[in-house]
Amino acid sequence: MTVYRIGVLYGDGIGPEITKATVEVLEASANKAGGVEFDWVKLPMGWEGIEKHGDPIPQVTKDELKKTHGWLMGPHDSAAYPAQHQTNRNPSGELRHVFDLYSNIRPAKTMEGVQSVVGEADLVIVRENTEGYYCDRNMVIGVGEWQITPDVVVSAGVFTRKAVERIAHTAFKMAMQRRKKVTIVHKANVIKLGTGLFLKVCREVGEQYPEVAVDDFHIDAMTAHLVRRAYFFDVIVTENMFGDILSDLAGELVGSLGLAPSINTSEDQAMAQAAHGSAPDIAGKNIANPVGLMLSTVMLLDWLANRHEDRRLIEVARTMENGIFQALAEGAKTRDLGGAASTTEFTQAVVERIAR
């Protein structure tokens, strides 16, 4: 029996509810598939970290995550943290920075039983995760913003060949396993040096993948294209902030942001994290949609399977994914999808499908 150490950061708001549900479904999937066991490593993050260690992402959590195979990251409510924590990177940004989780993969796919705004769609947004316009994580030391006077602020965007090359390779390799099409999203008509470099380097990398068709769009036009013809796109590669915005839009277009999964990876670490936030307005009401984090965990399993060459993890991933899709197709839905199921009721519905 192979044992994988998986960190669990329950987080804030709806985090404990959806993370608990995800662990339950993953355990059921592992028991059904067999051959894999998980050692859960519960670690403080968010308000729990502040209360126990005076830090929303304490050093003990970072140290223990280094000893895991990967981890589940619940949402955080950093906007509500005490003032002394507001100037620091939020927990997810800090972990992306510390572990150099440069690749953020966010799929958006229509699902049976879920109403889509745009009809059929199956695309993946590949977001560069370490620099661009995210000023809290694009410097080695310090933050890329300066307040020159009380009325003047300068915010820096950072683009490096190294970062663009590695995210471009991620996108093109993924396209080779899909429909062999990559769309580069930028704003090189206005931000000519910064996103111009992003566009130029992505196209250079694309020349190493002659089987993959390449096109590009400005970010503003891309939002319209996603609404008009989401079905047209396969793999979309873009910088940090553009990717964050586009992936939220794409998630909602195919059904609900509550369904939107994502995974953050480096060469040797991975963090499963739903694309949505902590939704403090519904926290503790047992009505949150756990699908986003559940499908993020499926992505983590696939990543681990590839890294460790363990096909049993693929079986666990497909068991979990099929259980989720079957539950949705057969009418088990939380309120954001027009259903009436509570978080625990939906989780039980998935577990029942897995047991079949």
Q: Give pLDDT, residue 207.
A: 98
Res. 241: pLDDT tops 90? yes
Domain 116-128+156-254 falls under CATH 3.40.630: no
Q: Give pLDDT, residue 337.
A: 93
Q: Confidence class of residue 269 from pLDDT cuts 50, 70 and 90? A: very high
Q: Give pLDDT, residue 124.
A: 98
Residue with tokens 């480096």: 266
The one-letter code for the residue type at 102 is Y
Tally the C-alpha atoms within 13 A of residue 234's C-alpha that lie toward its C-beta: 17
Q: Give pLDDT, residue 143.
A: 86
Q: Give pLDDT, residue 322.
A: 97
Mean pLDDT over all residues of the chain?
96
User: If you average pLDDT over residues 169-181, what whole number do you get?
Assistant: 98
User: If you average pLDDT over residues 129-135, what whole number do you get?
Assistant: 92
What is the model's pTM?
A: 0.94
> What would the pLDDT profile of 77-120 be if each residue is shown by its tens digit?
999 999 999 888 899 999 999 999 999 999 999 999 999 999 99
User: If you average pLDDT over residues 146-162, what whole number do you get?
Assistant: 96
Same fold yes or no, 1-103+258-356 and 116-128+156-254: no
CATH number of 1-103+258-356: 3.40.718.10
Across-strand partners of 37?
3
Q: Confidence class of residue 6 from pLDDT cuts 50, 70 and 90? A: very high
Q: What is the crossing angle of helices 311-329 and 343-355, to 10°?
A: 120
Domain edges within the chain: 1-103+258-356, 116-128+156-254
Residue with tokens 């089987």: 211
Distance, CA of 347 to CA of 9 (rounded, Å): 19
